[in-house]
Amino acid sequence: MDSTQTHGINLSINSSDYHLQILPWVTLLDVLRERIGLTGTKKGCDHGQCGACTVLVDGKRILSCLTLAVMKDGAAITTIEGIANGEKLHPIQQAFIDHDAFQCGYCTPGQICSAVGMLQEAKARNREEIKELMSGNLCRCGASRGIVNAVMQVMEGGSNE
């Protein structure tokens, strides 16, 4: 792959198709934020250590700051903007509200995407496993307990009404 010329890629982002010409070193995060205009996915540490950039690619959680966009040619990508079904919130989004699982909100998009992916993986069975499987998504404000409670609510199929 020549590093000085652009390459054509096709991405399905939140069920919309995009054909882009990009340089080979452009990250998926930068494509989402700067080329597509989906700024819900956050650039936190830019080193894959905080999880603020978590999105779903073909249903699996990834760190978009560490992923070259050319590597995901043909992939289906879901960002925080694609989690809800129109005006109807995804259950994990509603649970975050129910449990006040955010303070500053900066990490919230990555936390929600990670939680959706983790629930799809169906590996967590209890609070400790949720903490472990979500450990790559950091909350510096102290909302971690609310985040775990929100995931537990959805995992158990309940609501907080």
The predicted structure's pLDDT at residue 2: 58
Question: Do residues 52 and 27 both lie within one domain?
Answer: yes
In a domain, 32, yes or no: yes
In a domain, 99, yes or no: yes
DSSP run (H or E) holding 110: helix 108-121
Question: Do residues 72 and 22 both lie within one domain?
Answer: yes
Check which CATH number belongs to the domain holding 141 and give it: 1.10.150.120
pTM of the model: 0.92
Per-residue pLDDT of the chain (161 residues; tens, 9 = 90+): 556 799 999 999 999 999 999 999 999 999 999 999 999 999 999 999 999 999 999 999 999 999 999 999 999 999 999 999 999 999 999 999 999 998 899 999 999 999 999 999 999 999 999 999 999 999 998 899 999 999 999 999 865 44
| Cβ-contact 50, 44 below 8 angstroms | yes
The predicted structure's pLDDT at residue 3: 63
The predicted structure's pLDDT at residue 157: 87
Annotate 37-82 with DSSP letters as a single string. Answer: --TTS--SSSSSSS-TTEEEETTEEEEGGGSBGGGGTT-EEE-GGG
| Cβ-contact 53, 41 below 8 angstroms | yes
Both tokens assigned to 136: 């790559």
Give me the residues paired with residue 13 across strands. Answer: 16, 77
Angle, vertex CA 59, rays to CA 47 and CA 158, nearest 5: 105
The predicted structure's pLDDT at residue 160: 46
Q: By residue range, what is the domain housing residue 56?
A: 7-79
CA atoms within 13 A on the CB side of 160: 19
The predicted structure's pLDDT at residue 4: 78
Domain count, the chain: 2
Check which CATH number belongs to the domain holding 34 and give it: 3.10.20.30
Task: Give the torsion sign (CA, 113, 41, 43, 148).
Answer: negative
